[in-house]
A and B are shown apart, each in its own frame.
Chain A
Amino acid sequence: MTAAEAPAAVAVVKERKRPSLVARLPTSPIAMTGIGLIVTWIILALIAPFLPLPPPNQQDYASIAHPLPSAAHLLGVDLKGRDILARLLWGARTVLTVAPIAAISAYAVGIPLGLAAGYFGGKIDMLISRLGDIILSFPIIVLYVILIATIGPSFLNIVVAVVLASGPGIARIVRGLTLEQRHLDYIAAAELRRENALYIMFVELLPNCRGPLITDFCLRVGYTIITIGLLGFLGLGLPPPDPDWGTMVKEGTAMISVRPHMSLFPAIAIVTLVLGFNLLADGLRELSLKD
Chain B
Amino acid sequence: MVAFVLKRLVGLALTLLAASFLVFVVTEFSPGNVARKTLGAYATPAQVDLLYQRLKLDDPLLVRYGRWLGVLTGILRDPLQDPDLKLDFRDPRGDRYFGNFGYSTLFKAPVNDVIWDRLKNTALLAGIAFAIIVPLSLVLGVLAGMREGSWIDRTISIFGIVTTSIPEFASGVFLFVIFGFWLGLVPGTSPLTTSAGWSIASQLLLPVLVLVLYDSGYVVRMVRGSMAEVMNKPYIRTAILKGLPHRAVVTRHAVRNAMIAPFTIILLQINFLISGVVVTETVFAYPGFGRMLLEASLSKDISLIEAATLIALTIAIVTQLLSDIGYALLNPQIRLS
Contacts and interface: CB of A to CB of B under 8 A. Distances in A.
B319 to A, nearest CB: 10
Contact of A275 (B19, B161, B312): B161
| Interface range for A | 35 or more
A137 B297 contact: no
Interface string A245-270: 01001100100110010011001001
B75 interface: no
B317 A137 contact: yes
Given A134-B19, A137-B320, A140-B271, A278 B165 contact: yes
Interface string B149-177: 00000000100011011111110011001
A101 interface: no
A149 B298 CA distance: 6
Contacts of A275: 161-162, 165
Interface in B153-210: 157, 161-162, 164-170, 173-174, 177, 181
Interface string A124-161: 00000000011101111110011101110000000000
B62 interface: no
B305 interface: yes
A271 B166 contact: yes
A151 B309 contact: no
A267 B221 CA distance: 23
Contacts, number: 118
A121 B177 CA distance: 54
Interface stretch (A5-13, A177-185, A226-234): A226-234
A49 B246 CA distance: 58
A274 interface: yes
B57 to A, nearest CB: 17
B298 A139 contact: no
A140 B275 contact: yes
Contacts of A142: 274-275, 278, 293, 297, 308-309, 312
A146 B170 contact: no
Nearest to A257: B181
15 contacts: A134-B15, A134-B18, A137-B320, A138-B312, A139-B312, A139-B313, A142-B275, A142-B297, A145-B297, A146-B27, A150-B26, A150-B27, A229-B170, A270-B167, A285-B225
For the complex of A and B, the 6 pairs showing the least CB-CB separation, nearest first, are A141-B275, A275-B165, A139-B274, A267-B170, A233-B169, A274-B165
Interface of A: 133-135, 137-142, 145-147, 149-151, 222, 226, 229-230, 233-235, 246, 249-250, 253, 256-257, 260, 263-264, 267, 270-271, 274-275, 278-279, 282, 285
Given A138-B312, A150-B300, 6 more contacts: A137-B317, A138-B19, A256-B177, A263-B174, A264-B174, A275-B161
